[in-house]
């Protein structure tokens, strides 16, 4: 019998592994988190991996998000609009 924490919850997903004897064992792993979404429009962000916090902690910063302004927060079209808007505001102040 598996341990109590694996029996009734949907937090863990079952992974069926073949063992050398020919039998199939069940391994349990945490499910992946949802995909990251844009803060402005809610579109799914490209270039942001679906990592759990434990794994993300040891991953390099450049692998966690795109290398551009607002990378990992805003999608590409919203970033473009935000930069254009900030330039227009700066031009009005001059």
pLDDT of residue 6: 64
Q: What does the alpha-carbon distance between residue 71 and residue 74 come to, in Å, rounded to a whole number?
A: 6
Q: What are phi and psi of 30, to 5 degrees?
A: -65, 150
Q: Which residues contact 75 (CB under 8 A, 6 or more apart)?
A: 38, 40, 41, 43, 45, 46
- Summarised one tens digit per residue, pLDDT across range 35-94 is 999 999 999 999 999 999 999 999 999 999 999 999 999 999 999 999 999 999 999 988
Domain ranges across the chain = 1-31, 35-94
């Amino acid at each position: 019998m598996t341990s109590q924490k694996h029996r009734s919850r949907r937090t863990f997903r079952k992974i069926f592994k073949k063992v050398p004897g020919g039998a199939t064992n069940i391994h349990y792993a945490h499910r992946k988190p949802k995909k990251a979404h844009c803060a402005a429009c809610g579109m799914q962000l490209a270039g942001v991996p679906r990592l759990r916090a434990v794994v993300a902690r040891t991953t390099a910063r450049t692998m966690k998000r795109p290398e551009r302004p607002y990378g990992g927060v805003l999608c590409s079209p919203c970033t473009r609009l935000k930069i254009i808007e900030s330039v227009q505001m700066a031009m009005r102040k001059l």
